[in-house]
Structure 1
Amino acid sequence: MPLDWASLVGFVGTACIIGAYAYLTLSDATNPYVLHGTNLTGAALLTVSLLVHTNWPSLVLEGFWAAIAITGLVKAARAHKARKEVMP
């Protein structure tokens, strides 16, 4: 089966998620916006691919992956806001 646009989008999403995991593993001090933003981007791109080439277990996994990434982004934003309030 030749690679179509949806598969290529999925590969980019996979690269994002693998890159984020490598960043988390190899970095001494991670930026939560980079980490969770890259994971969210990867999950979104894989979701687009999975909507074309449906694989329900993987689609559910990407939903959870995106929810965790969004939670991480919200947590980082709240922590940033709290630090700004303490140190004007």
Structure 2
Amino acid sequence: MTFDLANIIGLTGCGLMVAAYAYSNMARTLNFVLFNLLNLVGALLLIGSLTVHFNIASMALEIVWALIALVSLGKALMKGKAQ
């Protein structure tokens, strides 16, 4: 493995997604905007990394993960405006 920019970006994305998972398990009250934003940015960074070091299974997973995070983020933002 080469330690190039694509891998640094991918590792950063992975770190954000792990942080989101840890946050969701440790927080007393979950901030859904923060949780989904971390997941979305993490997935997008991993997608960027995968455009350089392509893997079809990982790319499919990250696209689905990003779509779920995007929809959930929109839902959380709309709920926040309704309050």
- Give the TM-score band, short-chain normalised: over 0.9
Over the aligned positions, Cα root-mean-square deviation in angstroms equals 0.8
Query: Could you tell me which residue of structure 1 aligns to residue 16 of structure 2?
Result: 16
Task: Tell which structure's C-alpha radius of gyration is larger.
Answer: 1
1:2, distance to aligned residue in structure 2 (A): 2.5
1:82, distance to aligned residue in structure 2 (A): 1.7
Q: Taking structure 2 as the reference length, what is the TM-score of the superposition?
A: 0.95
1:16, distance to aligned residue in structure 2 (A): 0.4
Question: Gaps spanning 5+ residues in structure 2: where?
Answer: none
Q: Taking structure 1 as the reference length, what is the TM-score of the superposition?
A: 0.90
Query: Could you tell me which residue of structure 1 aligns to residue 6 of structure 2?
Result: 6
3-state SS of 1:39 partner: helix
Deviations 1:59-82 (A, max 9, x none): 010000001101111111121122
**4+ residue segments displaced more than 2 Å:** none
Identity level (%) = 40
Question: Gaps spanning 5+ residues in structure 1: where?
Answer: 84-88
Query: Could you tell me which residue of structure 2 aligns to residue 61 of structure 1?
Result: 61
